[in-house]
């Protein structure tokens, strides 16, 4: 029962989020960020974060993405997941998105620094701890230029390897990037593809990089399992509807008895007599 109640709450929250997306006329990039930083009790999928990272190379999308992330970071209390997931997404974008992400985060590092004091208790558990630790990690990363440069280079190569394993390459071997008439083309100032040899050399050299690759692998596995579970439930629902409809269609209802009036009933005439 607790699991069923939790799933129902998640479905209601998702429906409410979709309604708000329509009401506020959020763009595709903003909707993706809201989805990645929702209050759902699981982390953002690697596929979704990769899509958002690619969109940061688009001028309009970059602005929309960062505005939504800063807005999420301003949440508090019971919406602590908004804050924590926004920090997780921000770290991913700093390492694999446009270099402008790191630049803007450095300019507004005080906003991240204040989250080192984030407090929220839920059912006796210090949920603010996750936010405080992630904020501390991000501040340290942004202040260390050399470390940021190295982690970004290797994270991009790691992302490329996972993109290859997920068959995200086009026929010419180049990494596919989202194309939408809503946004201008990708900037040519930053590379959008890596050679196969560089991708093969992208092996974890540090504990932090190994953790990032592990998180990506786990997220991809979890996403696939969740997608399969949703597909199975959808099939079950369709099957039940089909069975119900079939029962309604083939349920036999006896016809009402036919009543003949006296004027119709008459004595049969003898055989051979003309009518």
Overall average pLDDT of the 149-168 stretch: 82
Would you list the domain boundaries of the chain? Answer: 8-233
pLDDT tens digits, residue range 196-241? Answer: 444 344 444 555 555 665 666 566 556 666 666 777 777 777 777 7
Global pTM value: 0.59
Fold of 8-233: 1.25.40
Listed in sequence order, the residues at least 6 apart from 66 whose beta carbon sits closer than 8 Å to its beta carbon are: 101, 104
Average pLDDT, the chain: 75
Kindly provide the residue ranges of all beta strands, DSSP E only, lying in 63-205, ordered along the sequence.
Answer: 121-122, 125-126
Query: Which pLDDT score is estimated for 230?
Result: 72
- Is residue 167 predicted with pLDDT exceeding 60? no
Are 184 and 59 spatial neighbours (Cβ–Cβ below 8 Å)? Answer: yes
- Is residue 111 predicted with pLDDT exceeding 90? yes
Query: Which pLDDT score is estimated for 239?
Result: 75
For the CA atoms of the chain, what is the radius of gyration?
A: 30
Residue, of 109 and 163, whose pLDDT is higher? 109
- Cβ–Cβ contacts within 10 Å for residue 268, how many? 6
- Is residue 104 predicted with pLDDT exceeding 90? yes
- Is residue 49 predicted with pLDDT exceeding 70? yes
pLDDT tens digits, residue range 30-46? Answer: 999 999 999 988 888 88
| Host H or E run for residue 157 | helix 145-165
Query: Which pLDDT score is estimated for 267?
Result: 47
Tell me which of 125-129, 153-157, 238-242 is least confident: 238-242
Residue, of 33 and 262, whose pLDDT is higher? 33
Query: Which pLDDT score is estimated for 165?
Result: 74
Are 60 and 68 spatial neighbours (Cβ–Cβ below 8 Å)? Answer: no
Query: Which pLDDT score is estimated for 3?
Result: 53
């Amino acid at each position: 029962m607790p699991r069923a109640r939790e799933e129902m709450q998640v479905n209601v929250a998702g429906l409410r989020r979709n309604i708000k997306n329509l009401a506020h006329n959020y763009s595709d990039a903003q909707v993706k960020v809201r989805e990645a930083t929702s209050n759902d009790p699981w982390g953002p999928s690697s596929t979704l974060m990769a899509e958002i990272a690619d969109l940061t190379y688009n001028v309009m999308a970059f602005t929309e993405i960062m505005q939504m992330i800063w807005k999420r970071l301003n949440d508090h209390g019971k919406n602590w997941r908004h804050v924590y997931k926004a920090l997780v997404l921000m770290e991913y974008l700093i390492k694999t998105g446009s270099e402008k992400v790191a630049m803007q985060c450095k300019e507004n590092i005080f906003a991240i620094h204040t989250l080192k004091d984030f407090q929220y208790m839920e059912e006796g558990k210090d949920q603010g701890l996750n936010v405080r630790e992630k904020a501390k990690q991000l501040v340290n990363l942004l202040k260390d230029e050399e470390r940021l440069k190295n982690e970004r280079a290797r994270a991009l190569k790691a992302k490329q390897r996972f993109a290859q394993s997920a068959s995200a390459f086009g026929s010419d071997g180049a990494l596919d990037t989202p194309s939408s008439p809503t946004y201008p083309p990708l900037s040519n100032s930053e590379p959008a593809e890596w050679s196969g040899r560089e991708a093969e050399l992208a092996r974890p050299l540090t504990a932090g990089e190994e953790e990032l690759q592990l998180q990506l692998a786990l997220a991809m596995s979890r996403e696939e399992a969740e997608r399969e579970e949703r597909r199975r439930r959808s099939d079950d629902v369709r099957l039940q509807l089909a069975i119900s409809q079939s029962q309604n269609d083939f349920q036999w209802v006896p016809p009402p008895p036919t009543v003949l009036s006296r004027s119709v009933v008459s004595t049969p005439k003898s055989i051979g007599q003309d009518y």
